[in-house]
Amino acid sequence: MSVRQLQVANDSVQDRLVLRIATEGNEEIRIFLTRRFLREIWPHLSRALLEQLDAPPPFAAHGEAGGEAASFEPAFREDNPRYPLGSKPLLASEATFEKTGDDLLRVSFREARERSFSLNLNPELLQALCAMLRAAAEQAHWDLALDYDMPAPPHHATGKPLLH
């Protein structure tokens, strides 16, 4: 599966973030992320990003460069996609992180005993995802400290699930 676009948006009615992943094969995966879930997975994402880049992202110190909100163009395309997991977003309650070859990080999202989805992130996609998550959490007024220099999370071996 080749990722064409990523989008993270705030769903204020559900009080969740919606991660949308569009593929080159015109499929779309939707994943709900709760505040608590994002708080739990953020240290793992930021640590993986720092390891992949070997340095803090250029906008890590004080939000995005220039103090302006991040802008990711072009707009998310709506081409009557197919929904292999259904049109209802997967409600992520577990995540696993696994380093694979070629500087990829595989993040697997799973519902409790239900659907699951794995996303392979190269350094550029991981950086974009982290920036989008930070911007959407700020827009949702979740008051989360999503810093890139977070202390190491409690010991979880790579590939072990993080329960929500």
Residue 144 has pLDDT above 70, yes or no: yes
Q: What is the pLDDT of residue 125?
A: 92
How many C-beta atoms surround the C-beta of residue 17 within 10 A? 25
pTM reported for the whole predicted model:
0.79
pLDDT band at 41 (very low <50, low <70, confident <90, very high): very high
| pLDDT tens per residue, range 90-141 | 999 999 999 987 789 999 999 987 899 999 999 999 999 999 999 999 999 9
Residue 8 has pLDDT above 60, yes or no: yes
pLDDT band at 71 (very low <50, low <70, confident <90, very high): very low
CATH code assigned at 13: 3.30.2450
Domain ranges, residue 27: 3-163
Q: What is the pLDDT of residue 66?
A: 34
How many folded domains does the chain comprise? 1
Q: How far apart are the first and last CA of the chain?
A: 27
Q: What is the pLDDT of residue 80?
A: 80
Angle formed at CA 162 by CA 160 and CA 164, multiple of 5 degrees: 160
